[in-house]
């Protein structure tokens, strides 16, 4: 009797596995017969803006820093000239007072 139960179990298991494979094959066929999914178009404009805007900001920062350095140099020259003129005026006043 135990052999008979064992063979029934193996036969039932085999039938279950066959039914499972048939179901899987059916699902595979139904998946393959579906129309292909259309890919979404990539928003190239947004991607390019996303790259160009930070590059523009960094570029403007460099231009501003360069301009600031030139302006600072110009103001330093003007201050030096003004200080020189002030010293000349001060020396001239001292010379007139000394006379």
Give the model confidence (pLDDT) of 50-89 as tens digits.
899 999 999 999 999 999 999 999 999 999 999 999 999 9
Q: How confident is the model at residue 6 (pLDDT cuts 50, 70, 90)?
A: low
In the chain, the percentage of residues whose pLDDT exceeds 90 is 38
Helix residue ranges per DSSP H, the chain? 2-32, 44-98
Mean pLDDT score, 13-37:
66
| Residues 69, 24 share a domain | no
Number of domains in the chain: 2
| Residues 47, 89 share a domain | yes
86 versus 39: which is more confidently predicted? 86
Work out the mean pLDDT of the chain and round it to a whole number: 80
| Residues 52, 24 share a domain | no
Q: How confident is the model at residue 8 (pLDDT cuts 50, 70, 90)?
A: confident
| Residues 99, 55 share a domain | yes
What phi-psi label fits residue 20: left (phi over 0), alpha (psi between -120 and 50 degrees) or beta? alpha
Distance CA 12, CA 6 (A): 10
Which residues constitute the domain of residue 4? Answer: 1-36
| Residues 91, 57 share a domain | yes
Q: HSE of 10 in the Cβ direction (CA atoms, 13 Å)?
A: 6
Taking the whole predicted model, whether its pTM rises above 0.75 is answered as no
């Amino acid at each position: 009797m135990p052999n008979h139960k064992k063979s029934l179990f193996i036969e039932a298991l085999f039938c279950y596995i066959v039914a499972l494979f048939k179901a899987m094959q059916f699902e595979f066929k139904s998946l393959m017969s579906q129309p292909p999914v259309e890919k979404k178009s990539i928003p190239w404009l947004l991607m390019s803006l996303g790259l160009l805007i930070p590059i523009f900001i960094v570029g403007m920062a460099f231009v501003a820093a360069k301009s600031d350095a030139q302006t600072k140099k110009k103001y330093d020259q003007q201050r030096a000239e003004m200080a020189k003129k002030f010293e000349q005026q001060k020396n001239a006043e001292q010379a007139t007072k000394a006379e």
